[in-house]
Amino acid sequence: MKTFLRIFLVVGILCVLLVVIFFVSSKRSEQRAKDDFIKYCKVCDTIQYSDPHPQIVLCDFDSADISEISFYLLKSGQMTRDTLIRISGQRVHDETYIQLNLPYGEFHKTDTILMVTQSNYYFCLTGAHFLTNLHFGNFGYLGGFDCRPDGEYTVNGKKSSRYIKKSYGLRKNMTNG
């Protein structure tokens, strides 16, 4: 009986020790993640160029509105590139939204992208930003990071997510000039 109690006591102490080690390790990992997040946010803030072909989602448009979309890349107010995209009906989901990648592989995060729909809705997209993404595993923070676009833009002067609604657009009446 005494042997059984000794074995039970040793196993109990080992279990408590493992729980304490896991708890301390978890707290240290959590603190390291907080410190690294602050450090890596500064790194992500220095990124000057967007990811290749960031994605946007057009919402509440009719097929006729977005069958052709013109994109203009503006650097310091000067147009540097223009691109016309034709969208087939296969890419339009439920006549309400369409996902598409911006046609420019890489652009400076201070550049402006002007998007004009076939029905003359204008959208100025500015303000690309990046977020720090820390690497986590099943047992906590592993170390390391990457910078990902936050998916938010300023659309015609208003903060927006990557979802661009038709109501955000400015409409130019082509009959009046």
Mean pLDDT across 40-67: 80
pLDDT at 16 > cutoff 90: yes
Angle at 117 (CA atoms; ends 116, 121), nearest 5 degrees: 75
Q: Give pLDDT, residue 177.
A: 42
In the predicted model, what is the mean pLDDT of residues 53-80?
A: 83
Least confident of 4-8, 49-53, 75-79: 49-53
For residues 98 and 91, the answer to whether their CB atoms sit within 8 Å is yes
What digits encode the pLDDT tens for the residues 104-148? Answer: 777 787 888 899 988 888 999 888 778 888 888 887 888 888 887
Q: Dump strand ranges (E) for the chain.
A: 55-59, 68-75, 78-86, 97-101, 112-117, 121-126, 130-137, 140-149, 153-155, 158-160, 163-165, 170-171
Neighbours of 108 (CB within 10 A): 13
Tokens of 169: 């657009």
- The residue assigned the tokens 């301390």 is 24
Tokens of 105: 């592989």
Which residue reads 């402006």 in tokens? 112
Give which of 155, 43, 65 is closest to 117, Cα–Cα: 65
CA distance 62 to 59: 9
- Window from 44-53, 72-81, 115-124, 131-140 with minimum mean pLDDT: 44-53
Q: What is the number of residues in the chain?
A: 177
pLDDT 10s digits, 152-167: 788 888 888 778 888 8
Domain boundaries, the chain: 1-177
Q: For residue 175, what pLDDT band results from cuts at 50, 70 and 90? A: very low
Structure confidence at residue 176 (pLDDT): 42
